[in-house]
Amino acid sequence: MWTEVEVMIDNRRVPNGPQTILGPAGCGPDVAALDEVADATIITLDEKDERLPRLLNLLKERGIRWFEKRRDRFTDEELQAARLLVMEYGSLEGKIFGGPRVGTKYDMSEACSRCGAGARQTSALVVEADELRHLEGRRAAATCYEDMLVDERLAGALAESGATGLEFRGVFAAFEKRGHFQLPYRQLCATHVMPRMSPRSTGIDLSQPCPCGRSCFMTYNRTPARLAYRAADLADIRDVNVTWEWYGYSKYNGDVYDSVLPYPLFLVTPKVWRIYRDAGVTGFDWLPIRVVDA
């Protein structure tokens, strides 16, 4: 395992351009990439790379703000040995807007009346047609709220593998004047909800909790998220599971179609990871959970 640090600099805030920072820091094209959409430079370094403190010190000295995110990375051997893996879509590209505000339907009868945690999806997933470019050439992607999408071939491979705890829903694009059009993708859904995570989980922010106790979980950008579960919590796992906790920003006033709902995280076995890997899928982060005594 190693910890990777991603530093993002707004190019417009760097006098004379980002190269005035990258050059002295020794950060070349091997670690620095341009995000044309955001007009930003993203530098990705190992936490132990000697260039990292040099880069951060230069930014501080010149009064340039930056966005920083740290995440753990693992070898294939470490991923294969894990009991469960947190599955997140980490790519800036390939995320499409979808959910209640686009027309996806939910049963809110057992959801929290304040945050919407526990909402149960009852329809196909509807995504924004204007953003279909984000799916081009991708075998798997996600919505902005971690709804998982797979193409039909990958859905077939998952089904044929005998993976447990999963079901599929259709995916439709919402066109303003033409209605809904079915896409050659399926939404990957989980049928099993995990118990509460262990309090020994780290990198989890719950500074503004909902009274229900189930939502408003966030992950720190500068501290890697490390989820922990008790050994007894793993006795009844499936190949595809979701967390009891719901993450992200929530905006719910009783009208689900004008809402931003939090979402659970996906926890999958290495079996699912291998299927994605063998299909050549990229853009996902895989984080082994930690097994603890209490």
Mean pLDDT of 195-199: 95
Mean pLDDT of 257-280: 95
Give pLDDT, residue 108: 94
Digit-coded pLDDT (tens) for 170-190: 999 998 767 889 999 999 999
Burial of 230 (C-beta count, 10 Å sphere; 0-12/13-18/19+): middle
Mean pLDDT of 6-10: 95
Digit-coded pLDDT (tens) for 18-35: 999 999 999 999 999 998
pLDDT at 218 over 80: yes
Mean pLDDT of 249-277: 93
Phi-psi bin for 222: left (phi > 0), alpha (psi -120 to 50), beta?
A: alpha
Give pLDDT, residue 67: 94
pLDDT at 254 over 90: no
Kindly indicate the confidence band of residue 92, based on its pLDDT and cuts at 50, 70 and 90: low
- In 3D space, the residue among 89, 87, 84, 119 whose CA is nearest the CA of residue 105 turns out to be 119
Residue 66 tokens, joined: 């930056």
Digit-coded pLDDT (tens) for 42-73: 999 999 999 999 999 999 999 999 999 999 99
pLDDT at 9 over 90: yes
Give percent of the chain with pLDDT exceeding 70.
Answer: 99
* CATH 3.30.70.120-classified regions of the chain: 2-73
Alpha-carbon dihedral sign for residues 66, 72, 74, 80? negative
Averaged confidence pLDDT in the chain: 93
Digit-coded pLDDT (tens) for 113-169: 999 999 999 999 999 999 999 999 999 999 999 999 999 999 999 999 999 999 999
* 2-73 under CATH 3.30.70.120, yes or no: yes
Digit-coded pLDDT (tens) for 77-89: 999 999 999 999 9
Give pLDDT, residue 55: 97
CA distance 179 to 5: 43
Hey, what amino acid is at 14? Answer: V
Are residues 133 and 243 in contact, defined by beta-carbon separation less than 8 angstroms?
no
CA distance 14 to 62: 9
Are residues 5 and 45 in contact, defined by beta-carbon separation less than 8 angstroms?
yes
